[in-house]
């Protein structure tokens, strides 16, 4: 007879969600700190170098003083990866109630900016909780009996765009779209570059946009796609973005993009859907893995794009 895994209590999920939100708000993932420092060191333009150094100082100060690194604390959102063997006390409805409560409490306790408002009345509930807020997206993983609660406080929301290309547009069309996107948003400083750029290729329109956001938010800087064709394009697009010279906050400089991550999905034979999402340099993310035995492990690498998540065939 199969042994049933003990249910993960909501109290433990609450603790992990609250702490992951706190860590996302007040720490900077290590890959981000390294990328900030490298960009400042190699910058050739004095004004851009000055601003990049201020980004490094600001990130270090935020960590030292346990405070958010930007006054705009973005939009708190969750990505939840659930092991196939995990059992959750109260099920997914209870889980979602707990995740919403953690955002409301953290918004109050650490003074995240209450950014979420009704889109028409502009009513602000004051706790970042409302209709479809915070976002919760799910994926699943074979064998695991744990839940990963991934928190992103997403900034740079002006830098997301979508275009339906034709297959014949190919890589040239993708590059053109990326350059249009950067010219529109990066030069005007709307997404606060340097940014991490996520590109979604293929799928349906909604899949494509979702993948571009996940690519921007849920992969570490320097990580390459396992498909060499995609990985090479990531390097090429990052080089292209930086050759625009838009630079940090649009003041001109060598680093417009810290990295480009591409995710692909099989597309309709007649189209090449393409989406670009920018994650601003306020790089805020943390993960809590909750085990049924009561342990919670925190880390900054989401490990969202597993081989199972990117599976090609039926198995």
Residue 76, interface with ligand SF4 (CB under 6 A)?
no
Per CB under 6 A, contacts with ligand SF4 among 116-155 are: 155
CA Rg, the chain, in Å? Answer: 20
Residue 280, interface with ligand SF4 (CB under 6 A)?
yes
Residue 102, interface with ligand SF4 (CB under 6 A)?
no
Q: Which stretch binds ligand SF4 (CB under 6 A): 24-32, 197-205, 232-240, 274-282?
A: 274-282
Residue 74, interface with ligand SF4 (CB under 6 A)?
yes
Q: Which stretch binds ligand SF4 (CB under 6 A): 103-111, 115-123, 126-134, 275-283?
A: 275-283
Q: Which residues contact 54 (CB under 8 A, 6 or more apart)?
A: none
Residue 70, interface with ligand SF4 (CB under 6 A)?
yes
In the complex, the smallest distance separating the C-beta of residue 223 from ligand SF4, rounded to whole angstroms, is: 21
CA atoms within 13 A on the CB side of 131: 6
Residue 32, interface with ligand SF4 (CB under 6 A)?
no
Residue 237, interface with ligand SF4 (CB under 6 A)?
no
74 versus 288: smaller Cβ distance to ligand SF4:
74
**DSSP per-residue codes, 87-120:** -BTTHHHHHHHHHHHHHHHHHHHTT-------TT
> CA angle at residue 265 from 263 to 269, to 5 degrees?
135
> CA angle at residue 275 from 188 to 119, to 5 degrees?
65
**Could you give the angle at which helices 30-42 and 46-65 cross, rounded to 10 degrees?**
150
In the complex, the smallest distance separating the C-beta of residue 74 from ligand SF4, rounded to whole angstroms, is: 5
Residue 26, interface with ligand SF4 (CB under 6 A)?
no
CB 282 within 8 A of CB 216: no
Q: Which residues contact 62 (CB under 8 A, 6 or more apart)?
A: 26, 27, 28, 68, 69
| Tokens at 128, concatenated | 């970042």
150 versus 282: smaller Cβ distance to ligand SF4:
282
3-class DSSP state of 165:
strand
Residue 282, interface with ligand SF4 (CB under 6 A)?
yes
Residues binding ligand SF4: number (CB under 6 A): 10
Residue 72, interface with ligand SF4 (CB under 6 A)?
yes
Per CB under 6 A, contacts with ligand SF4 among 169-198 are: 191-192
For residue 99, report the phi and psi dihedrals to the nearest 5 degrees.
-65, -40
Residue 156, interface with ligand SF4 (CB under 6 A)?
yes
CB 224 within 8 A of CB 285: no
In the complex, the smallest distance separating the C-beta of residue 284 from ligand SF4, rounded to whole angstroms, is: 8
Contacting residues toward ligand SF4, per CB under 6 A? 70, 72, 74, 155-156, 191-192, 280-282
């Amino acid at each position: 007879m199969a042994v049933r895994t003990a249910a993960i209590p909501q109290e433990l999920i609450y603790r992990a969600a609250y702490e992951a939100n706190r860590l996302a708000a007040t720490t900077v993932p290590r890959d981000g700190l390294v990328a900030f420092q490298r960009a400042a060191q190699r910058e050739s333009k004095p004004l851009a170098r000055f601003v990049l150094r201020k980004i490094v100082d600001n990130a270090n100060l935020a960590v030292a003083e346990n405070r958010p690194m930007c006054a705009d604390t973005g939009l708190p959102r969750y990505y939840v990866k659930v092991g196939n063997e995990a059992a959750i006390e109260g099920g997914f409805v209870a889980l979602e109630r707990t995740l919403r409560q953690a955002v409301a409490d953290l918004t109050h306790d650490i003074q995240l900016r209450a950014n979420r408002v009704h889109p028409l009345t502009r009513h602000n509930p004051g706790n970042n909780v409302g209709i479809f807020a915070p976002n919760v997206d799910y994926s699943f993983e074979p064998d695991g009996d744990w839940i990963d609660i991934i928190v992103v406080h997403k900034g740079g929301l002006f830098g997301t765009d979508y275009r339906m290309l034709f297959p014949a547009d190919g890589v040239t069309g993708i590059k053109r779209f990326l350059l249009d996107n950067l010219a529109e948003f990066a030069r005007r400083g709307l997404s606060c570059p340097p940014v991490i750029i996520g590109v979604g290729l293929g799928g349906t329109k909604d899949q494509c946009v979702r993948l571009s956001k996940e690519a921007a938010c849920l992969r570490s800087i320097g990580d390459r796609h396992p498909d060499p064709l995609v990985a090479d394009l990531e390097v090429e697009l990052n080089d292209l973005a930086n050759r625009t010279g838009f630079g940090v906050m649009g003041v001109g400089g060598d680093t417009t993009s810290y990295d480009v991550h591409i995710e692909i999905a099989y597309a309709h034979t007649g189209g090449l859907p393409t989406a670009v999402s920018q994650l601003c340099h306020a790089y805020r993310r943390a993960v809590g893995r909750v085990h049924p035995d009561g342990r919670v492990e925190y880390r900054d690498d989401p490990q969202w794009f597993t081989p199972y998540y990117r599976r090609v065939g039926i198995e």
